[in-house]
A and B are shown apart, each in its own frame.
Chain A
Amino acid sequence: MELVQNFPFLTIVFSLTCGVFCAVLKARTAKRLCLCWLTLTTVMSLAVLVYTMRTNGYYVYRMGKWNAPWGNEIRVGILEALMASVFSGVMLLSLLGGMHHIFADCEPEKANLYFTMCSLLMSSLFALIYTNDLFTAYVFVEINTIASCALVMLKSSARTLVATTRYLIMSLLGSGLFLLGIVTLYGITGELLMESIAEKVREIFASGAYSLPLTVIIGLFSVGLAVKSALFPFHSWLPDAHGNATASSSAILSGLVLKGYIIVLIKIFYRVFGLDVIVAKQVSQFLFLFGVCAMIFGSVGAIRERDLKRMLAYSSVAQVGYIYVGIGLHSRLGMVAACVQIIAHAITKPMLFIAAGGFIDVSGGHKSMSALTGAGRRDPLGGVAFTVGALSMIGIPFFAGFVTKLHLTQGALESGAATMTVALAAIAVSTLLNALYYVPVIFNIFSGRESGEYKGLRVRWRADYAFSLVCFIALNIGFGSFSRIVVGVIRRGLELFGM
């Protein structure tokens, strides 16, 4: 066994350890430890990606070298390694970009706990990406929930407390359904490892037994994870939670946490049940329809919003809809589109939130559109970053969002007539709606009619903020311009993923 094969396991375990250390260190030291560790995990995940690309395969890592029915496993392939690299890179940049907000928003003696929660969150995201065991997935889903709720709550105002409560209650409903799904599936198959369940499910499905329980189980998994990843109509908790938290938290929650649950759902669909069962049970039609609704109603919600961060949060609801539409097409191209969207949104939305944090700084702490007039002039780099992000969200060529729309359209064209019409109409309408709320914001932040109060206010130069935004801009344009390479990697990854 080569050294690099241990990296996925090490990233999970040492992220947990890093969280424990951060809890007892001073805030500044904890910050340094957490940032160093995130840099290292990004490098390690990239190394794993290169390794899996070179061997063009996947490998199963057995914990403690116990064999299948007794041991716990993680499974590492190209797609998993790609997601892990993107996630830990985005986590690092989101933390850097909002660093001064973290120290301003937290109570000073508790700032180190923020980094504890970030490490725990990162560990659970890695585990969700890599794990091959359903119950391990459940445990890390819960760790993810607690850590992300704590990230919302660390800015302790009345509104974040209420938002956290709502978020936590909805999340717990979701995990409850997810757990019941796992337990019922265990009752039928007697297995917890994904491959072993898949074998049993194939047998059961072929014999025609347990038809109703299988449908119920798939429903429990889908609804449970849809609640947690804020698919329409379960999105009511998201705007409050993402709109009121500190800049880094909003960036991490919107960019990464929602995607972690979706990756688990994709795994369950393709590695536990297999495409045949999913198609026969017609679950993907529902996900497709809800995804389409999310694309439209998320954008409508964003148009009605006068508060910049809440607007961005509603836009996340719409963007999650794109992922579900991709999954709901239940074709190879649809899945490629869903994975592209996971990455595209993960590198775009955090940039928008970080830039929004910068605007709020130069507008006396206000979040409403009227106070932000001319903010892009006071904070030019943030203005550029926001414009890039907004253009990407609308789907202008050479930006990340365009790649999603391109592949989603291709996927839609390949599917049946009714699905194609609905999907294409939804993409067209949603693009229009996106433009309807992002373009006015761009005009507004670069408008010369600044209110006297903040006129002439200039942003303080901050190296971490600038570095994070420049990296995000480069990632976005790089992904948009050289999407072929990344899409090629995703295609190869999906082949190994069991499709």
Chain B
Amino acid sequence: MPDFLQNLLTNYYETAAVILFGIGFTTLLMHRNLIKKIVGLNFMDSAVYLFLASKGYIAGRLAPIITDGDSDPSKYVNPIPTGLVLTGIVVSVSVTAFLLALTCRLYDRFHTLDIDEITHLARKERD
């Protein structure tokens, strides 16, 4: 067991990322308030990006930008995860924008942000 705890402590970036992912995931799943759901989604995405960025970092190395003509790869950190994080951020921005736009429409229509109440009202509207 101490081994297990030791591992959690050495990889504290990953540990934090997974805890954050859990918080985001449950917020997105459990909360009834739409805005809080969106915040949960962003938590979840950021956690994955933290995880990914920490995978690419190698202690004591430089950012992978060649300035003095030195192209020896062992001097730089892994640039691919950073690129993936950028792509991921673009995706999450567009998804968040879509969800926020949807929330605006729902609020205009029902004057509430509670998803259960909205479902209830929408059902009544049809009958």
Q: Which residues of A contact B (CB under 8 A)?
A: 135, 138-139, 142, 145-146, 149-150, 153, 156, 158-159, 161-162, 164-166, 168-169, 172-173, 176, 179-180, 183-184, 186-187, 192
Contacts and interface: CB of A to CB of B under 8 A. Distances in A.
A211 B1 CA distance: 18
A165 B95 CA distance: 12
Contacts of B12: none
Contacts of A164: 102
A183 B52 contact: yes
A353 to B, nearest CB: 20
B127 to A, nearest CB: 11
Contact of A139 (B91, B109, B115): B91
Nearest to B80: A192
Contacts of B103: 165
Interface string B75-113: 000001100100110010011001100110110011000
A161 B105 contact: yes
Interface of B: 21, 24-25, 28-29, 34, 37, 41, 44-45, 48, 51-52, 55, 80-81, 84, 87-88, 91, 94-95, 98-99, 102-103, 105-106, 109-110, 115, 118-119, 121-123, 125-126
Contacts of A156: 105
Contacts of A153: 102
21 contacts: A146-B95, A150-B98, A158-B109, A158-B126, A161-B102, A161-B105, A162-B119, A162-B122, A164-B102, A165-B102, A165-B115, A168-B99, A169-B37, A172-B41, A172-B99, A176-B24, A176-B48, A179-B45, A179-B88, A186-B81, A186-B84
A59 B123 CA distance: 52
A414 B121 CA distance: 51
A149 B51 CA distance: 28
A241 to B, nearest CB: 13
Given A149-B98, A159-B126, A162-B122, A173 B48 contact: no
Contact of B106 (A138, A139, A162, A169): A162
A200 to B, nearest CB: 15
